[in-house]
Amino acid sequence: MSLLLRLYDPTAGRILIDGWDVRDYTLESLHPQISVVLQESLLFAATLRENIAYGVAGASDRDIEAAARLANAHDFILALPHGYDTLVGERGATLSGGQRQRIAIARDAIRRTPLLILDEPTTGLDNANEQAVIEALRRLCQDRTTSVIIHDLHLATQADHILYLEQGRVLEQSTHRDLMAPT
């Protein structure tokens, strides 16, 4: 995924987006088209409203609330003393891991980018938070090209196409059904 984000350029081969080599895109044109949900989501020492709207100039309260609802975050936000105006500590320290993940999902939902990268988005979550995050991710992924880096085989079964990599090499690729079929 680092190659897709152009954190590095390929030393061999190429990465294509819509048939174009990723190196033909400028970083300024590429990065606004991609959202990323990391295993450890980065939140800022700011309000929940500001964290959700980060990077979207002029985001309305309605947009922020819609994104929070999509991310299964709205209800827990309203239960906080100051709702959307609740300050979260540095890196979101005042929130649980599942709450931080849902705020990160809301941030990506409000951006509405066509490409989405999910990097181990449910790792370390308890069962209830994992289910809330998975449900939110299903909605977030609709009508978007999504790449998921995951070790959780249950989540991998839901992918349209699976690439199995080992040491940077694709060893197998197909649908879950085809990969599991007896040979």
Q: Collect all residues with Cβ–Cβ distance below 8 Å to 136 and sequence separation of at least 6.
A: 70, 71, 72, 73, 102, 105
Strand partners, 17: 20
3-class DSSP state for residue 36?
strand
Supply the pLDDT for residue 37. 84
Residue-wise pLDDT tens digits, 22-32 = 999 999 999 88
Domain ranges of the chain: 16-151
- Answer whether residue 93 shows pLDDT above 80: no
- Answer whether residue 152 shows pLDDT above 80: no
- Phi, psi for 142 (deg, rounded to 5): -60, 135
| Cβ proximity of 102 and 133 under 8 Å | yes
Instruction: Please report, as a single letter, which amino acid is at residue 48.
Output: L
The third-level CATH classification (topology) of the domain covering 16-151 is: Rossmann fold (3.40.50)
Residue-wise pLDDT tens digits, 4-20 = 888 988 888 888 888 99
Q: What angle do CA 41, 90, 125 make, to 5 degrees?
A: 35
Sign, Cα dihedral of 5, 19, 104, 152: negative
Measuring CA to CA, which residue among 181, 36, 173 is closest to residue 113? 36
| 33-51 residues labelled b (16+ CB within 10 A) or e (exposed) | ebbbbebebebeeebbbbb
Supply the pLDDT for residue 77. 96
Q: What is the pTM of this model?
A: 0.83
Supply the pLDDT for residue 41. 79
- Answer whether residue 75 shows pLDDT above 90: yes
- The distance from CA 120 to its chain's CA centroid, rounded to whole angstroms, is 9
